[in-house]
Amino acid sequence: MSEGTDHEGWLRRPKTLLAVLVVARLVLETAGAAHTWTRYLSSTVALFLAAIYLGAVAPLRGVTRFTKLILPAVFLTVWTAGWVIFAILVSALLQLQGSHFASPDDYGNWPHLRQHILGHVGAIGIYSAVVVILMAVPFLLRRWPVAVGPAAVLGALVITRYWVEAMGADPARASAWSSTLAMLLCGFYLGGVGPCFGLKLGGQLLIPSILIGWAWRFWVFLAAVLSVVAPFYKTHFFDPSGGRVAVRLAESLGVGVLEGFVYGVVVWGIAVWISHTARRTVEA
């Protein structure tokens, strides 16, 4: 680890959260909790949310280069997989019927258990790549600090809504996690805190607004790609059963760039209005 980078402090809380989450799910399922709600305690989703958080706060921990995100991303993914494998071994060795971590086929069947564990080990590379991408989005916005927080929150909302829909939640309830509404609310945030970041002129808020819009549509595009990779999860982000998947994804990306720009301009208008209103109130 490079000098001046507080990696231990940077990773401590996400590591603790992920470990506690896996253990808590194991304990709850062993105690008889229904899988229909313990599945919401997903270590994978928590890993993705932690990645966004780490990318957002990375500059505060002395991380100034993109390449410095790779090793922590791999480490956190391995850490998560390690705790999941630990839960699998405990469930298999103790034959914990209520736990989803190990199936009855794993009980006393070492070849099957080994293949199960190797499956999780083999997925580490894929998950690490996803974690790097998730970390990179807020990290690349570090030159515009006022945009980092909104971009991170929008990413968290998209991931949460994807997972809630994938778990079969009612669409009306899942829509409560709307990132579109949150995107518009970003205008109030930018207009209110912009002066604290030295953005006192309306024109200075334009680039951060558009960057937030593009970050938002990129999160949505990633959710669409995930819908293709995991078609067994049904969400509103993308329906791969419609065919022409590659073409439709490319169209989605192109339209997303345009939508992000348009929404960014709308957010900018709201931000300018709030900023001017706040300034007049202070001067009055």
- What pLDDT sits at residue 282? 64
- How would residue 230 be classed by pLDDT, with cut points 50, 70 and 90? confident
Give the pLDDT of residue 234: 87
CA angle 14, 38, 166 (to 5 degrees): 85
Whole-angstrom distance, CA of residue 254 vs CA of residue 260: 10
Residues 183 and 281 placed together within one structural domain of the fold:
yes
**Are 125 and 166 part of one and the same domain?**
no
Does the structure show a pLDDT above 50 at 3? no
Q: Are residues 151 and 90 in the same domain?
A: no
- 192 and 68 within one domain: no
pLDDT score recorded for residue 226: 92
H or E segment and range at residue 46: helix 43-57
Name the burial class of residue 152, with classes exposed (0-12), middle (13-18) and buried (19+) by CB atoms within 10 angstroms of its CB.
buried
Is pLDDT above 80 for 133? yes
Do 149 and 200 lie in one domain? The reply is yes
- Domain total in the chain: 2
Could you tell me if 151 and 138 are in contact, meaning their C-beta atoms sit under 8 angstroms apart?
yes
Domain stop point among 118, 140, 162: 140
CA–CA separation, 100 and 22 (whole Å): 11
Q: Among 46, 53, 44, which residue's Cα sits nearest to residue 135?
A: 53
- Compute the average pLDDT of residues 126-150: 95
pLDDT at residue 52 is higher than 80: yes
Angle between helices 179-193 and 206-229 (to 10 degrees): 160
Q: Which amino acid is located at 135 in the chain?
A: M
pLDDT of residue 176: 87
**Average per-residue pLDDT in the chain?**
91
pLDDT attached to residue 2: 47
Query: What is the residue whose two structure tokens read 């914990």?
Result: 96
- pLDDT at residue 1 greater than cutoff 50: no
Q: Which residues constitute the domain of residue 194?
A: 144-284
Torsion 76-79-83-84 (CA) sign: positive
* Residue at which a domain ends, from 80, 106, 140: 140
